[in-house]
Structure 1
Amino acid sequence: MIDLADLADVGRDPRRGGYSRHGFDRAELELRAWFTEQARRRGLDVRPDRNGNLWAWWGEPGPGAVVTGSHLDSVPGGGAFDGPLGVVSALQAVDLLRARGFTPTRPLAVVVFVEEEGGRFGVACLGSRLMTGAISAEAACALTDADGVTFGEAAHAAGFDPLRMGRDDRALSSVGAFVELHVEQGRGLEVPVGLASSILAHGRWRLTFTGEGNHAGATLVEDRRDPMLPAAAAVLAARRAATGGARATVGRVVPNPGGTNVIASSVDVWLDARADDEPRTREVVEAVTAAAREAARDEGCEVVVREESWGGTVTFDAGLMAEVRAAIGADTPALPTGAGHDAGVLAAHVPTAMLFVRNPTGVSHAPGEHAEPDDCAAGVVALATTLEHLAR
């Protein structure tokens, strides 16, 4: 029996703690190889699609398939459960179904999506966005990492042809239902297993502040055009704008050139904003950008705001949720989530549902992320029972 411990040594981050595993980097490629080996050991037919996602088929691929899975990449310094729990649980569910003597009458597949977190190339759910056409191949392949490597270059090095990437109607039409198991990323779940009802509207924006680079010791304060000041104002504005259940976060600030005794010539700030619906989310972003523009003007700097990704409010398929409840229990609680997922991208195209496993600390996207072994086991049972119900 496999478990998350099998992955514990892959992609450890000694500086940040936790794990740093990103799309097509060494750690993620090692995990992809691990998944391929484990799936083949179970007699599953592993077929990568043209966008870099991995599909492991139980039965002949075809329309109406029941699909489960998640992702293997992480945020920088992320926890052990976000993503890999869904993949490991899917393989464990296959083991459990086989132990029950079950053979699906509908095709069943486990999928691993590439670059779900956007930790390397900046856009979350890149594999599922490409598959559904939510992002064009041209735009995706032009995305760059911190070293200037494009997604297209990284994909080519991993054996994929960037010229063949893009909306994949064949893969999309094969999915009859998608059920993703995931660790819950807050403290909203009080029982071992629950359902997701919806995903908050969310997006990422990049604010680039430009001033004048200069000497930290030789330049008088009154002579400065320091972009770090309006960048700091944007960070504070994000906290002020996050009211009434909205969330606004600056988790990344990159000054250029980044010297200790240098006034930066430019500063990039990434804003993550989420709220119940699109108008409220846009309102939060507008409040932050307005404050940023005012602060930039006061410091004699300029600011450019770019939207890097966007996902509207997702309400999961009511019919599929009813099917899942029929399989695992009518009293299974459902709760909204502020976290984005591949299931949320697919929801606009196919019936989609999510199972959550309880997170007792509520910590996620950090090394303290946790789920108890008994709760993880309950998640596997719930997933297997759901797949059995749907794939009969």
Structure 2
Amino acid sequence: MTARGLRIVRLANFVTGRSGGLRTALRHLGAGYRAAGHDPVLVVPGERAGVARHPWGTVVTVSGPTVPGTGGYRLLTARRPVERLLTRLAPDRLEVSDRSTLRWTGGWARAHGVPSVMVSHECLTGLLGQWGLPAGRARGLADRLNRRTTGAYDRIVCTTAWAGEEFTRIAAPVDVVPLGVDLTGFHPDRADPALRERYADDREVLLVHCARLSTEKRPDLAVDALAALRRAGVPAVLVMAGDGPSRRALADRAAGLPVHFTGFLPDRSAVAALLATADVVLAPGPVETFGLAGLEALAAGTPVVVNAASALPEVVGPAGIAAYGTPTALADAVVRVLDRPEPARRAAARTRAEQFSWPASVAGFLRVHDAGPVPPTPAGKPPVTG
């Protein structure tokens, strides 16, 4: 640990103005690093190169191609420009939120004497299974790729023990550091009677699915769970908050059902109000490694039904119900949640969320970086310029 703040350079793919949990995490961690006296610099792909300064640190955009079928996500694929940028930035620490196309940066860091951390935001085994590989092949391929990753970086961070399992099974050390939640921005007081009136009447159950509408999130399960509830006589309605490449197919699937698509909600206060107004939030994704939207729902005082195959049971604890990833199981879990007295289930949700905070998450990440709060002194590094 040096007497001055550290320049923590962070690289991340799949970050856009419309991305969700990863973008939120990067911003809160950057703001925390800066508040602790460090100099966070985030490098992301974009349509064109540029530099911008924000409360969460400097953001350097490197031109990168879009990934087909992802709704606009881009990758940092040009190695030489990124190498030149890293050399110019002269990081004290390197933090990489990508485990595949940027794996080479671990070697760059080692060659330049820079401690490196890879933050795993996805379950490779689960994703390979989602892409159609049989379980045995998915596990074997994930193990081989994960060994390469652990060999490339000094430290591996996972946000849940569930996410860390695919590293611990190959005997790779993992630091588990949970993410946090904005306990002020997401609060039960954000509930809006006018918003509820827009989507449901007094007799109806308001369900919300808040996630990117893409295959790996399994939003189709939310629509099918609604159908199962309606068949069972439960007067439920569903609001799908978010956008993505699956939206058109989902709209077709939801034909004849009371499903409302909000599209992308850029205003976080609008998201907070919707989550606080809901009776139950659905998080059916089977490969979620943390599920920040589910935690935000708990902070808003709303219980969550989650996929038992994901990391979310570890996050929501007794404030939600885990169900196997079938429409019937999810629908049954919704009914079980609603059987709990409303004041008790909302209080339990908020209490659970209060166990997660961004200051605690920042402190955990800084411990991994072997850093901590420092007095406000000159950074001692050249400023980041365009």
Answer yes or no: same fold by TM over 0.5. Answer: no
Q: Which TM-score tier does this pair reach, normalised by the shorter chain? A: under 0.3
In the superposition, the TM-score normalised over structure 1's length comes to 0.24
In the superposition, the TM-score normalised over structure 2's length comes to 0.24
Name the structure with the higher helix share: 2
**Greater RCO structure (CA 8 Å; 6+ sep):** 1
Name the structure with the higher strand share: 1
